[in-house]
């Protein structure tokens, strides 16, 4: 269950529905007893900059980036 103290980490990509990263990362967080959650966020390329700013503004602990954003995110 997510709470106000849950630390959030994201995967940014498009598409990401097929990704197994959330299951793997959340299992690792649970095994360590961490109140963290890993979310896959489907972000269209034209909204990448906005999404990155939103993660920072929302206090996300970090993010991974996958196709098609790997090159574009460097400038952000």
pLDDT in tens, 1-31: 899 999 999 999 999 999 999 999 999 999 9
pLDDT at position 76 is 87
The token duo for 59 is 């206090």
Q: Is the pTM of this model over 0.75?
A: yes
pLDDT digits (tens, 9 = 90+) for 36-48: 999 999 999 999 9
Bridge-based pairing of strands 62-65 and 36-42 is: unpaired
67, 70, 72, 76: which one is catalytic?
70
Cis peptide before 13 (omega within 30 of 0): no
CA distances to 18, 27 from 60, rounded to whole Å, are 22, 19
**CA distance linking residue 67 with residue 13, whole number of Å:** 6
Annotation marks residue 7 as catalytic: no
């Amino acid at each position: 269950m997510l709470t106000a103290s849950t630390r959030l980490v994201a995967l940014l990509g498009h598409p990401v529905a097929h990704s197994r990263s959330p299951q793997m990362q959340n299992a690792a967080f649970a095994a360590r007893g961490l109140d963290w959650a890993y979310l896959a966020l489907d972000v269209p390329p034209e909204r990448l900059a906005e999404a990155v700013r939103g993660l920072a503004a929302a206090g996300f602990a970090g993010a991974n980036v996958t196709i098609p954003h790997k090159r574009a995110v460097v400038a952000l």
